[in-house]
Amino acid sequence: MIDVSGEITKATAKPSRMMRQYELVERVRVYDPSVDEDLLNRAYVFSMQAHGTQTRASGDPYFSHPLEVAGILTEMKMDSTTIATALLHDTVEDTLASLEDIQKQFGPNVARLVDGVTKLSRIELQSDQAKQADNFRKLVLAMSEDIRVLLIKLADRLHNMRTLHHLKDPEKRKRIARETLDIYAPLAERIGIEKMQDELEDLAFAELNTDARNSIIARLNFLRSEGGDVANKVLKELRSVLEQSGIKAEVHGREKAPYSIWRKMQRKNVAFEQLSDIMAFRITVDTIEQCYQALGAIHSRYHVVPGRFKDYISTPKPNKYQSLHTGIIGPEKQRIEIQIRTKSMHEVAELGVAAHWTYKSGEQRTDGTQYRWLRELLDIVEHAQKPEEFLEHTKLELFQDQVFCFSPKGDLIALPRGATPVDFAYAVHSGVGDTCVGAKVNGRMVPLRTVLHNGDQVEVVTQKGGSPSPAWERFVVSGKARSRIRKFIRTQQRAEYVTLGRSMLEKLCKQEGVSFAEKAFEAVAKNFQAGSLEDLYANVGASLQPIRDVFNAGFPEHRAKADDKTDKSGEKIALTTKPKARSLTTPLTLKGLIPGMAVHYARCCHPLPGDAIVGIVTTGKGVTIHTQDCETLESFARVPERWIDVGWDDGHGKEEGLVGRLTVVLTNLPNSFGTLTTIIGKNNGNITNLKITNRTPEFFDILVDVEVQDVKHLTNIVAALRANGAINSVERTKGR
């Protein structure tokens, strides 16, 4: 903002000479008597020596930059640690100094802050799409674990903007200005540093739209001269109105900053002439009561512009800004805006969070903030004993529930914490997610279930014709990925159920000696609440509809003969596709099954990859997998239509949670149990259950359940056990 009475500050003004060590210390001492003089002195000397003869684009010694950044932060009354970090902020990135050096010389706190600022400087908005700005801001916030990191970064940017005109390359100047406007000015706004926001915006505006800014300034000057001393007249009258009402107040008049006028012109699509409220007045009083009294005095004296009144005192803005805003037709028949606030509210408005630890007023504040982090900040402000303590505990928990990653093009994608490359792929495009077969993170191939971190660059490898794997559902965390995968499974599952149901009926017809006729089943579909023949097949396939009932309805003349025994080794159902199975408990890759269909491994025989297996369709339960030699299968001999031919997918990966059961006879010796568990452990088996079934003076009979990858793995363990003398015998157990 620009004081009406004053001149526009030259943004390009720079000090004619560098601040000296003692001057910096004195600046801090003014607001912080406990200044760490030694720390500041050492940081000053270290930085100056590290930057040595480096120079800036302006020709100035490079050291002038960190020094100026430190200077900006003294204006914000920052603590000694922050000022020291500001002095050192470019040493790791731009000089031979390492983070270890900083750590050794200045301790872990300064090192952590320097590291934070360095990391922030390394990420740059790689694509200049405006829609990325919001995510990028979030990334910056997420990476600023300590609010001081963010404040130093903003001060760094402010000084770079002040010296931007020294850069020769106009493209680079524009890019930096655009980034400032999109990212850093809104961040300053967000944490409530109005002063810095205004300056960043004005400097960026000057670079990006010099003509517009110049004409607005010229226009403002013209209005000022033409209107005579309008501002002063208004000031005088407002003061007397307040005085008459017995309110002690300070009144300031100001013009809006050129950039905020420009934004308003764009937003409302109006010409400058139509913008009447370019003047704003600020009334500062001592107490909240006086704020409302002043508002009453103004409203009873002037016409109020409808819709302009806002009470940010009872409902503060998220950045904790508090004020009353109103618009009136002022003394000179001009529309003017008035802000009414207390002195401490004013300090918060100008300095934002930085104001809080110098904030000693006992003034009551209502906490209407909607952001958790701000509530936490407030909490810390209220409970911290010292400014130092406040800062130490201010770990910004900003967006800790999110993670931000880059695409190879530099687009930024925001994902929930715990997201994987599959979530990333779906966030890019559902087509990319559906056909995703692999991923590179920061240039390296990684498993699709890898958890992504802030700033990771993710390249998704897709394959034409690829399709989502049901297994993904177990590790994706984003709603979009999950719903797409489920949808795909449902669609494919239905198709598979239709095929399965149809072939089950075909098979049953063959058994019963009738020729399969679609028409017969189509006619009875309605009887089974199936809308179509396909629905009926799907219901049979999913075991929702007993197949016998359907068959009997289709061929009423062929009553089912319950005792008709059919050879179970008869023709097995052959599925044309090669779907994959999953189960909530034991996800394993099987051939011949339906995606999404519940799969259980029979407890009687504990089938393992490599075993010859068969599936039994169980109504309402999906498919149970047995080993082909399992005794339990005899009880299914009469219902061959429920048998399905399944096999292990050769390419199955390492699956967990599969259990093989062993019957072990152990010699009763002191270390027998230890030997048993050691051998199993050494062979990467995981004992999940162990039960002594019989005990004699010589031997223990034990049942051991071991988690293994496949039957070969179990065979290895059995062989290793047999090789040991303490173990009398080992057999794999199937059936009871």
Q: 93 or 698, CB closer to Mn ion? A: 93
Instruction: Mark residues 16-55: x for contact with Mn ion by CB under 5 A, - for none.
Output: ----------------------------------------
Residues of the chain by 3-state class (helix, strand, coil), percent to 5: 45, 15, 35
The separation between the first and the last C-alpha atoms of the chain, rounded to the nearest angstrom, is 85
Selection from 676, 689, 682, 496 nearest residue 581 by Cα: 496
Q: 187 or 257, CB closer to Mn ion? A: 187
Long-range contacts of residues 10-18, Cβ cutoff 8 Å, at least 24 apart:
11/162, 11/199, 11/202, 11/203, 11/206, 12/162, 12/163, 12/165, 14/58, 14/60, 14/68, 14/162, 14/163, 15/68, 18/61, 18/63, 18/64, 18/67
Candidates 36, 156, 201, 202; binder of Mn ion (CB under 5 A) is 156
CB 155 to Mn ion: min, Å: 9
**According to the binding rule CB under 5 A, does residue 90 interact with Mn ion?**
yes
CB 238 to Mn ion: min, Å: 43
CA max distance for the chain: 114
698 flagged as catalytic: no
Query: What is the rounded CA–CA span in Å between residue 225 and residue 256?
Result: 17
Q: Which stretch binds Mn ion (CB under 5 A): 156-164, 230-238, 265-273, 520-528?
A: 156-164
Q: Which stretch binds Mn ion (CB under 5 A): 11-19, 51-59, 150-158, 451-459?
A: 150-158
- The residue count for binding Mn ion (CB under 5 A) is 2
**According to the binding rule CB under 5 A, does residue 68 interact with Mn ion?**
no
CA 420-421-422 angle, to 5 degrees, is 90
Q: 120 or 604, CB closer to Mn ion? A: 120
Q: 90 or 423, CB closer to Mn ion? A: 90
β-strand partners of 283: 251, 340
Q: Point out the residue whose Cβ comes nearest to Mn ion.
A: 156
CB 196 to Mn ion: min, Å: 15
C-alpha 133: how far from chain center: 15
DSSP 354-398: GGGGG-------------HHHHHHHHHHHH-SSHHHHHHH-B--T
Catalytic residue among 37, 94, 134, 311: 94
CB 436 within 8 A of CB 425: yes
Q: 156 or 337, CB closer to Mn ion? A: 156
Q: Which amino acid is at 177?
A: A
CB 47 to Mn ion: min, Å: 11
Catalytic residue among 3, 38, 93, 389: 93
**According to the binding rule CB under 5 A, does residue 337 interact with Mn ion?**
no
Q: Which stretch binds Mn ion (CB under 5 A): 90-98, 366-374, 625-633, 652-660?
A: 90-98
94 flagged as catalytic: yes
Instruction: Mark residues 102-141: x for contact with Mn ion by CB under 5 A, - for none.
Output: ----------------------------------------
Instruction: Indicate the DSSP class of residue 689.
Output: E
CB 90 to Mn ion: min, Å: 5
Selection from 348, 273, 274, 335 nearest residue 308 by Cα: 335
CA distances to 84, 225, 692, 717 from 682, in Å: 54, 91, 22, 9
Helix axes 533-541, 479-512, angle to 10 degrees: 90
Q: 90 or 705, CB closer to Mn ion? A: 90
Radius of gyration of the chain (CA): 38
Q: Which stretch binds Mn ion (CB under 5 A): 137-145, 153-161, 405-413, 710-718?
A: 153-161
Q: Locate tokens 């504990």: which residue?
A: 606
Q: Which stretch binds Mn ion (CB under 5 A): 74-82, 154-162, 574-582, 605-613?
A: 154-162
| Residue-level length of the chain | 736
Q: Where are the beta strands (DSSP E) in 402-469?
A: 402-406, 412-416, 436-441, 444-446, 458-462
Query: What is the rounded CA–CA span in Å between residue 310 and residue 306?
Result: 11
CB 65 to Mn ion: min, Å: 6
Instruction: Mark residues 413-442: x for contact with Mn ion by CB under 5 A, - for none.
Output: ------------------------------
Query: Which helix (H) or strand (E) is 680 found in, with range?
Result: helix 672-682
CB 403 to Mn ion: min, Å: 26
Q: 154 or 212, CB closer to Mn ion? A: 154
CB 94 to Mn ion: min, Å: 8
Q: 90 or 496, CB closer to Mn ion? A: 90
Q: Which stretch binds Mn ion (CB under 5 A): 88-96, 344-352, 643-651, 685-693?
A: 88-96
Q: Catalogue the active-site residues.
A: 93-94
Where do contacts with Mn ion occur on this chain (CB under 5 A)? 90, 156
